[in-house]
Amino acid sequence: MTQTNQHQMPSRHVIDNAEKAIQVAKDAEMAVRHAQIESNPHKLQAAMAELEAAQHAVAKAQSQMNAHWDDNRPHQELVQVQDDLNQAQQSLEITASNSMQPKQVR
């Protein structure tokens, strides 16, 4: 029983980190959308920084997930979280590309 719990702890940690990264990504996307709606360049700049931080968090979570995947047989929850991470990364990339501004706004 102890072995099973010790084996599951790293999985839980990896999943928790991934879920946090996914939430950070959702929050960053929402911040970008709100800044765009308000047409506030200062808020947009801050939101874009938040978006970049979210991209790093998702990339780190994916790296941890991949390392864990190599060491363990994946189970359904890991597969689902991996899919959610991939969707979060794609969504962040789309939001970032849609939010690009020209260097000089007139």
Model confidence pLDDT, tens digit, residues 13-48: 999 999 999 999 999 999 999 999 999 999 999 999
| 37 vs 104: which has the higher pLDDT | 37
Cα 98 to Cα 96: distance, rounded to the nearest angstrom: 5
| 12 vs 31: which has the higher pLDDT | 31
List, for residues 54-89, the tens digit of each pLDDT value.
999 999 999 998 888 766 676 788 889 989 999 999
Quick check: 8 pLDDT over 50? yes
| 19 vs 1: which has the higher pLDDT | 19
Q: What is the DSSP string of 26-75?
A: HHHHHHHHHHHHHT-HHHHHHHHHHHHHHHHHHHHHHHHHHHHHHHS---
Task: Label residue 95 exposed, middle or buried (CB < 10 Å: 0-12, 13-18, 19+).
Answer: buried
The confidence score (pLDDT) of residue 9 equals: 57
- Assigned CATH topology for domain 2-95: Methane Monooxygenase Hydroxylase; Chain G, domain 1 (1.20.58)
Quick check: 3 pLDDT over 50? no
Q: Which residues contact 51 (CB under 8 A, 6 or more apart)?
A: 28, 29, 31, 32, 92, 95, 96, 99
